[in-house]
């Protein structure tokens, strides 16, 4: 029987501003990547999100980004590897501190947005993220886009690393995500997303925006929690996985 994790990017509000339906998503996913101040999130938002996750037994990870709240972390900001190391450590450490208050530990780190996409292909950025995670200790793992430089960097440094694919994003022939705003970047139809994932689980290949496919490995499937279709898509995928005999379970224990 196939087992795979279902994760979502959550806690992406800031102050009185709310993004997505975190409570509903936490009823459907098995891991939650929680914003920690770079692109969204503040102490109260982090606290609420971790408290809801703990009540449901959901594994949590930190979701650090370029320090870019106005751009929601989707802009590649000029940053040295040292700066990347420090802001990833600072953001992850902030969530770990809130986790200590809640009594629900942070288990992994998954970069967000432009940082994740750059770390997927840029060795110095990937190495900087890995150094930050390794320095923080506590057995933190990395959740990386499947088949990318960040995976290789983590393995080389002896940091536990797990791979993810995306339910709602398109792929290039190189295995990178199609940039937002380009044709084929987003998958919003839940049935199409479910069928694509079902085919992937059977074949190990994801379709690309050129009509071909690429071989990938995955421990987890991501649905972006800020999308309007997120809850409906997560529910549809869970139902489709159950029909296919696929078990949904976290890639790390809570």
Q: How far is CA 96 from CA 105, 126, 195, in A?
A: 7, 21, 36
Residue 235 in tokens: 């529910």
**pLDDT tens-digit profile of 120-141?**
999 999 999 999 999 999 999 9
Q: What is the pLDDT of residues 44-80, one digit of tens each?
A: 999 999 999 999 999 999 999 999 999 999 999 999 9
Phi, psi at 31, each rounded to 5° = -140, 145
Measure the CA dihedral 38/88/151/11, to 10°. Answer: -40
How confident is the model at residue 229, as a pLDDT? Answer: 86
Nearest Cα neighbor of 75 from 129, 41, 112 is: 112
Query: Looking at residue 8, what is its pLDDT?
Result: 97
Whether the predicted pLDDT of 1 surpasses 60? no
Q: Using H for helix, E for strand and C for coil, what is the string for the chain? A: CCEEEEEEEECCCECCECCCCHHHHHCCCCEEEEECCCCCCCHHHHHHHHHHHHHHCCEEEEECCCCCCCCCCCCCCCCCHHHHHHHHHHHHHHHHHHHHHHCCCEEEECCCHHHHHHHCCCHHHHHHHHHHHHHHCCCCEEEEECCCHHHHHHHHHCCCEEEEEECCECECCCCCECCCCCCCCECCCHHHHHHHHHHHHHHCEEECCCCCEEECCCCEEEECCCCCCHHHHHHHHHHHHHHHCCEECCCCCC
The separation between the first and the last C-alpha atoms of the chain, rounded to the nearest angstrom, is 22
- Greatest Cα pair distance, the chain, in angstroms, is 48
Render pLDDT for 183-195 as a digit per residue (tens, 0 to 9). 888 888 899 999 9
The answer to which of 84-88, 91-95, 100-104, 171-175 has the lowest mean pLDDT is 171-175
Residue 158 has pLDDT above 90, yes or no: yes
- Report the mean per-residue pLDDT for the chain: 95
* Cβ neighbours, 10 Å, residue 26: 21
pTM of the model: 0.95
Using DSSP bridges, classify how beta strands 205-207 and 213-215 pair: parallel, antiparallel or unpaired: antiparallel
Say which CATH architecture domain 3-248 belongs to.
Alpha-Beta Barrel (3.20)
Residue spans of the domains in the chain: they are 3-248
- Cα separation values, 172 from 32, 123, 178, 194, Å: 26, 19, 6, 19
pLDDT of residue 128: 98
């Amino acid at each position: 029987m196939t087992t795979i994790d279902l994760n979502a990017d959550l806690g992406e509000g800031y102050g009185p501003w709310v993004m997505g339906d975190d409570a509903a998503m936490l009823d459907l996913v098995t891991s939650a990547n929680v914003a920690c101040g770079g692109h969204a999130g503040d102490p109260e938002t982090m606290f609420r999100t971790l408290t809801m996750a703990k009540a449901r037994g959901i594994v949590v990870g930190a979701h650090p980004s370029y320090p870019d709240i106005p751009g929601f972390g989707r802009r590649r900001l000029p940053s040295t590897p040292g700066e990347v190391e420090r802001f990833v450590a600072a953001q992850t450490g902030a969530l770990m501190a809130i986790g200590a208050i809640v009594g629900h530990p942070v288990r992994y780190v998954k970069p967000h947005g432009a940082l994740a996409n750059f770390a997927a292909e840029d060795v110095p950025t990937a190495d900087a993220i890995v150094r930050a995670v390794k320095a923080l200790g506590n057995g933190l793992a990395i959740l990386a886009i499947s088949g990318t430089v960040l995976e290789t960097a983590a393995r080389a440094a002896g940091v536990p690393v797990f791979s993810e694919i995306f339910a709602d994003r398109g792929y290039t022939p190189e295995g990178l995500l199609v940039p937002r705003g380009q044709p084929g970047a987003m998958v919003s139809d839940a049935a199409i997303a479910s069928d694509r994932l079902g085919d992937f689980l059977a074949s190990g290949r994801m379709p690309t925006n050129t009509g071909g496919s690429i071989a990938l490995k995955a421990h987890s499937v991501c649905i972006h929690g800020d999308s309007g279709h997120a809850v409906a898509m997560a529910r549809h995928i869970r139902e489709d996985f159950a029909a296919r005999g696929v078990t949904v379970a976290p890639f790390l224990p809570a």
